[in-house]
Structure 1
C-alpha cells in the first residue's frame, strides 16, 4: 500500500510508531520540535506510561489518551490524536489536562506538582488563528504575565498546514508535512532524507502495515471513524428536514389563523406537493 493511501494519524498506527520503547528517538524528535527545545534544553528521554483515561462522556468514545509519558525534565506529556471534531474540545482538553496535572499524593507539597503538557494533533481546523500551531498557557489578560509554565496546551491543526518547498521547512513544519500526507513520493523521499526521525517513522509504518493483526486494528479504527462521520451526516440531514417541517407547519398555522384558511387552502397557498399533504395534515392535527 502506498503511503498516501493510508492515514498516519490513525491512533493505532500513531501509537505503534510513536509509543514504543524501541522508537523513543522518533517521539523525542517530534516532542522537541513541538516544544521548540534545542541544544541543552532538548528532552533526552521519556518514560511511556500505559494510562488510557476511561471515557467520561458519550462523545469521548472516539477520544483517547493516545500517548502519555514522563519526560527527562519531569514534565508529564499527553499527545492526543483527534481525527474528527467531537465539539467542546477546549473544555475536554482542560478536563484531561487537570487530571494529568494531579500528580501528587496526599500529604505531598504542591511544589512537587509536575509540569503538564498537552499536545492535540488535529485532523481538522478548530481555532480562529490561521497558523497551524497554537500554544496556550496561563496568562494575565492585561499585562500578559505568565503565572506558571505548569500549564501548556498545544494545538496542531494539520489541515491548516500549507505544503511548500521541503528545503524551506522548519523542524515542526517537517513533522506537519509528515502527518499531512499531502506530499508526492518524491517529496516524501526528500522529507525522509531531511530528518532522520521521520525516515525511521516511515520505516516503522511499513513494518506496521505488513503485520496482519496491526493492520486489522487500523482498518477497524478507520471504519469506526467513517461510521461516526456517516452518522453525523445522517443526523444533520434529519435535523435539517425536521427543521424545515417545523417551519412549514408554523407557516401553515399562521396562514390558517391570520387569513382564516382551511389546512388544504393553506397548503395550496404554500404550494406543498399533494404527496406531502397527508404528512402535514397529521403534523397540524397533533
Structure 2
C-alpha cells in the first residue's frame, strides 16, 4: 500500500479518472444509480433513436460462449432499453491496436445472444455498442461518431440492428474551448469524462446536468470505500505500467535501430494488465496466460507472479 500511496498521494475531484473501468462500473452499472446511465444514454442515442429512453434493465456483463473453448466476452456495462434495444457501454484507456475488431466481436456476441433457441430471426434485437476511448482512433475530427451498415454507393442504411458509437475523449479535450453554458448535452458528458475543468467549471457542470452531479457524488462515495479505492488504484497503476512499458520498449528499439519496440511494449503492457486482473481475483492464472498467448510458466516469468 505504501507504493500505491507514493504514486497516488491524493485522489480528489480534480485527479479522479472517470474512465477507470472499476470506477465506471460502480457509477454507471448499478441499479440504484441507473438514472445516471439513462441520462448518459439519452445524450448519446436520442438523435438516432428519435425517442427518449425512460427505463433500462441491467444485464449480465459476462456473455458465456456456447462451447467451452470459445472466447468469453466480458462487457463493462450492459443493459436493455425500454424500447427493446440492447446496449453495451465500454471504456477503453489503453490502445491495443485492435479496437475496431474487438468492438465488432462484442457487438456480434450481444446480437447473437438475443436470439433464443428455436426463435425466428425476426426476434433478433438491435444491438448498440458505445465505446468511450481515452485515445484517438478514427480519422474524423469530430469526437463523436456512429457506424452502421450502409450501402456504399447510395448511403442507404440496411437496418438499425447495428450501431457502434465512438466517443474519443482526447479529441474533445483539445477541441475548441466552450463554456459549460455553451455546451450541448453530449459535450457536457464528454467534459465529464475528460475531467479537465477548473473547480468553478466543474461546479457549473454539476449544476447544468443533474445526472452528472449524481455521477460526481457517486465517485466520492466510491473513493471513500477502501476496497473500491484499492481496486481503482491497482487499475491506475496497471495503466501506468502499460504506458511505461511501451515507452521503454520504443526507446530501446530506437537505440538499436529496430522497429519492433512498440510491439514488444504493447505485449509487456498487456501482460502487466492481465497480471493485475489475476491478483485482483478477476481472472484465473490459466485464463490470463491464454489471453497473453503464453504458457502459465512463461506468464509467471514475464510478470513476476
TM-score, normalised via structure 1 length:
0.79
Equivalent residue in structure 1 for 2:91, among 65, 74, 81: 81
Equivalent residue in structure 2 for 1:18, among 23, 28, 39: 28
Aligned to 1:281: none
Structure 1 gaps of 5+ residues are 247-286
Shift of the alpha carbon at 1:32?
0.5
Alpha-carbon distance change, 145 to 230 in structure 1, aligned in 2, over 3 angstroms: same
Taking only aligned residues, the RMSD between alpha carbons, in angstroms, comes to: 2.4
Equivalent residue in structure 1 for 2:238, among 224, 247, 253: 224
Instruction: Find the residue that maps to 1:4 and give its secondary structure.
Output: coil
Stretch deviating more after TM superposition (232-241 or 33-42): 33-42
Q: Is the CA contact (8 Å cut-off) linking 2:253 and 2:259 kept in structure 1?
A: no
Instruction: Find the residue that maps to 1:5 and give its secondary structure.
Output: coil
Q: Distance in 2 between matches of 1:100 and 1:117?
A: 9
Q: Is the CA contact (8 Å cut-off) linking 2:63 and 2:109 kept in structure 1?
A: no
Q: Distance in 2 between matches of 1:244 and 1:116?
A: 43
Asked if residue 139 in structure 1 is aligned to residue 143 in structure 2, the reply is no
Aligned to 1:46: 56
Compare CA radii of gyration and give the structure with the larger one.
1
Stretch deviating more after TM superposition (43-52 or 136-145): 43-52
Shift of the alpha carbon at 1:224?
1.1
Asked if residue 191 in structure 1 is aligned to residue 205 in structure 2, the reply is yes
- Give deviations 1:200-250, integer Å, cap 9, x for gaps: 11111111111111100000111111111112222222333343599xxxx
Aligned to 1:169: 183
Aligned to 1:5: 15
Q: Distance in 2 between matches of 1:42 and 1:105?
A: 28
Instruction: Find the residue that maps to 1:22 and give its secondary structure.
Output: helix
Q: Distance in 1 between matches of 2:259 and 2:242?
A: 26
Q: After the TM superposition, which residues 1-286 of structure 1 pair with which residues of structure 2 at under 5 Å, given as runs?
A: 1-36=11-46, 41-52=51-62, 65-102=75-112, 103-161=114-172, 162=175, 163-243=177-257
Aligned to 1:262: none
Alpha-carbon distance change, 232 to 64 in structure 1, aligned in 2, over 3 angstroms: farther
Alignment length (residue pairs): 241
Q: Distance in 2 between matches of 1:54 and 1:235?
A: 36
Shift of the alpha carbon at 1:39?
11
Instruction: Find the residue that maps to 2:158 and give its secondary structure.
Output: strand
Instruction: Find the residue that maps to 1:149 and give its secondary structure.
Output: coil
